[in-house]
Structure 1
Amino acid sequence: MADDIEARLTAVPAPTTSPAGGDGPDDYLERRTLRRGSAGWLLLTGLGVAYVVSGDFSGWNVGLDKGGFGGLAIATVLMGAMYACLVFSLAELSTILPTAGGGYGFARRALGPWGGFLTGTAILIEYILAPAAIVIFIGDYVESLGLFGLTSSWPVYLGCFVVFIGVHLWGVGEALRFSLVVTAVAVAALLIFAVGAFTEFSADGLNDIPVDASAFGSNSWLPLGVLGIWAAFPFGMWFFLGVEGVPLAAEEAKDPVRSMPKALSISMGILALLALITFFAATGAQGADAVKTAGNPLVVALEG
């Protein structure tokens, strides 16, 4: 395997300069050759899970309101398959082109500067909007649990943004280690939640959303019909959205050629397992109808 990887790396064409004297795509990548980082596969795996784990706490449950348990289940499986293909593609690209920039660099190499620009813009939009959604989830949980005596969530939003920005200003390597600790705590919380929720699990709660008889193909499993599957797609991806950002940390990796594919694959496996556990535990504990629009579905699932 190592010989095959090195053979592919040496097969990458040497950098060239465009006829007009500007930077060609190969020259662009050459000037962004990775410096040797210090992060191993464990930190990168933690980063992959950290990008996504907040989606297990909230966001996905709105898919129950759009498609019911069956609609969201099908949407989640399909989105998981799509992300698995995406992750393995990125793992291969990270091996062949271990350069800083992740998807932006890959798209630039394949589609040229404009293709790279559009891809990079989409990635930036994703990672600008994601923290906004996360702080809303955190605010809902803090407010519902009555922590710090807060009756409004806006101080939590502000405080979380300060923490997020501060950690990244501290340094990328330090942020990776910090995120690994926070991720371990979050995963432990999900597992503890699952243990408590499964003690109240009832299969009848999975299909307790009222059936819309006017919807095509509606039944107890698809209460909003076949189109509910399509409507649940944006929420099924909450269990996986963000894992594609791991290649952006390629410059911090000690050996990106080997550690990046390993980290991406393990991250995807962990996320799929957490999605399965959280989905069934939260929905079966109090019923799909109870958690479908909650900003704090895990808390609602444990209330009884």
Structure 2
Amino acid sequence: MTMDEATAAKPAAAQDYLAKRTLRSGTAGWLLLAGLGVSYVISGDFSGWNFGVAEGGFGGLLIAFVLIAGMYLAMVLGMAELSAALPAAGGGYTFARRALGPWGGFATGTAVLLEYAIAPAAIATFIGAYVESLNLFGITDGWWVYLAVYALFIGIHLAGAGEALKAMFVITAIALAGLLLFAVSAWGLFDAGKLTDIPADPDAFGSSAFLPFGVFGIWAAVPFAIWFFLAVEGVPLAAEEAREPEKNVPKGIIISMLVLLVTGAAVLFLATGAFGAQAISTSGNPLVEALGDGAAAKAVNYIGLAGLVASFFSIVYAYSRQTFALSRAGYLPTSLSITNARKAPVLALIVPGVVGFALSLTGKGAMLLNMAVFGAAVSYVLMMVSHIVLRVREPGMPRPYRTPGGVMTTAFALVIACGAVIATFLVDPAAAGWTLAAFCGFMVYFALYSRHRLVASSPDEEFAVLARAEAELE
């Protein structure tokens, strides 16, 4: 083959490569994207957050909630700008790739992937607790539940994004109705005295009825406050499957964040006030136990199961798109990004699912929660740094949406995110340490192998090429 023939063949080869790795575009408008953002997170309202009461008491978790809510709101505003400017399936990895180069991009993508691969395993254990409390099918051993939800929902995702997103939206609407039913029922049981029924630890610095474990308890409660919002940042992963992503992705992620602020605050106050801080701190299904044994409790139990399923379902979508984007660009084995006739990435759905199922067999929801939060917090640090770097280095980059407050907004989120990374080691050093080890293992793989095999024709790498070309022209 002559040089001219080789040059002519390259575009065709690139087109063929990408043709096998194409998602279905135009599937989602802002309403489906907002529903996706809520569905990612809504399981956090039904279970998991309450373990933070055991770490900081109601007061510690409340203060942590306010801080983390501020961080997420600031971060979402920053990501809205980035997703409008760089709409691609890589989400945070795409943003960091443009701002921080291949190393920063892969580090961010790896942290996000760890978050999304581990979070469904934690949610599966909570689903198992709800199923057992309902005595469904006589199941008393959770692993059957874990296997069933992984197999069922991966199978639905293989049918295509449009079908999956619409199913997620319906399940999420049911879960929101369940939260409304819970709020109405819990209001009549609310007793402000129950919020502070954990005895103060006299040896803890700054302890009181409001902060029974002292000031330190606030920090220890941070990972569980994050569970109220964990994964809302995944909305930009749907950018390539959205209509007018530069408009609809920012709108979807901001609306979903506002909804989650309301639901999280309502659950924190009403569930703790109805059941008591001491009792709720160890509950596997806190909303149900807070309502007692009546008809409302049973209804919330069934609907709570829908809420957990919604998040499980949607985060499976998220990990598949993150795996797809990293694979398509060559950071992970390229076979993981091949899509089927329905434009669903087959191995990107199955391989992380197998890993997540194996982790769910530990049955330790709180530990898995902390591991997922570690990955999330690391990715938040890197994404906020990316926003700041791009604002400084590329002020002229087209930005259909601009973050209110600019770099000051994302700098605030950056500081809180750094504290959140440290907080995961305070709660469970072993879990955070193992997740850090997995993160380092991915980086070694990149250093020794995949950084030499990046695919220049992938959208994320093309963003970087365009940025370099623009810089040279200037």
Q: TM-score range by the shorter chain?
A: 0.7 to 0.9
Corresponding residue for 2:179? 190
For residues 183-209 of structure 1, the C-alpha deviation after alignment (integer angstroms, 9 at most, x for no partner) is 111111111111111111100010001
Corresponding residue for 2:67? 78
Corresponding residue for 2:227? 238
**Partner SS, residue 184 of structure 2:** helix
Corresponding residue for 1:169? 158
Paired residue for 1:297, among 278, 286, 294?
A: 286
Alpha-carbon distance between aligned partners in 1 of 2:267 and 2:98, rounded to the nearest angstrom = 38
Alpha-carbon distance between aligned partners in 2 of 1:51 and 1:34, rounded to the nearest angstrom = 20
Corresponding residue for 1:10? none
Say whether 1:212 aligns with 2:197.
no
Which shows bigger deviation, 151-160 or 240-249? 151-160
Paired residue for 1:37, among 26, 30, 39?
A: 26
Shift of 1:73: 0.2
TM-score (norm 2): 0.56
CA 1:35–1:298 in 2, change beyond 3 Å: closer, same or farther? Answer: closer
Corresponding residue for 2:273? 284
Say whether 1:269 aligns with 2:258.
yes
Alpha-carbon distance between aligned partners in 1 of 2:69 and 2:115, rounded to the nearest angstrom = 18
Corresponding residue for 1:253? 242
Shift of 1:152: 2.1
Alpha-carbon distance between aligned partners in 2 of 1:292 and 1:180, rounded to the nearest angstrom = 30
Which shows bigger deviation, 95-104 or 122-131? 95-104
Corresponding residue for 1:93? 82
Corresponding residue for 1:14? none
Structure with bigger RCO (C-alpha 8 Å, 6+ apart) = 1
For residues 89-146 of structure 1, the C-alpha deviation after alignment (integer angstroms, 9 at most, x for no partner) is 1100111112221101100000011111111111111110011011111110111122
Corresponding residue for 2:134? 145
Q: Which amino acid aligns with 2:285?
A: N
Say whether 1:126 aligns with 2:115.
yes
Q: Which amino acid aligns with 2:195?
A: L
Q: Which amino acid aligns with 2:192?
A: A
Is the 8 Å Cα contact of residues 27 and 161 (structure 2) preserved in structure 1? Answer: no
Alpha-carbon distance between aligned partners in 2 of 1:167 and 1:53, rounded to the nearest angstrom = 20
Shift of 1:173: 1.7
Is the 8 Å Cα contact of residues 290 and 300 (structure 1) preserved in structure 2? Answer: no
The runs of at least 4 aligned residues of structure 1 exceeding 3 Å deviation read 31-36
**Partner SS, residue 227 of structure 2:** helix
Corresponding residue for 1:19? none
Alpha-carbon distance between aligned partners in 1 of 2:75 and 2:170, rounded to the nearest angstrom = 26
**Partner SS, residue 214 of structure 2:** coil
Alpha-carbon distance between aligned partners in 2 of 1:191 and 1:129, rounded to the nearest angstrom = 29
Q: Which amino acid aligns with 1:44?
A: L
Alpha-carbon distance between aligned partners in 2 of 1:58 and 1:99, rounded to the nearest angstrom = 32
**Partner SS, residue 283 of structure 2:** coil
Structure 1, unaligned stretches of length 5 or more?
A: 1-30
**Partner SS, residue 137 of structure 2:** helix
Shift of 1:38: 2.5
Say whether 1:135 aligns with 2:92.
no
For residues 38-65 of structure 1, the C-alpha deviation after alignment (integer angstroms, 9 at most, x for no partner) is 3100000000001000111111000000
Q: Which amino acid aligns with 2:247?
A: R
Is the 8 Å Cα contact of residues 200 and 212 (structure 2) preserved in structure 1? Answer: yes
For residues 134-180 of structure 1, the C-alpha deviation after alignment (integer angstroms, 9 at most, x for no partner) is 11111101111222222222211111111221122111121111110
RMSD of aligned alpha carbons: 1.8
Among all aligned residue pairs of Structure 1 and Structure 2, give the percentage whose two residues are the same amino acid.
62
TM-score (norm 1): 0.87
Q: Which amino acid aligns with 1:119?
A: T
Paired residue for 2:47, among 43, 46, 58?
A: 58
CA 1:168–1:223 in 2, change beyond 3 Å: closer, same or farther? Answer: same
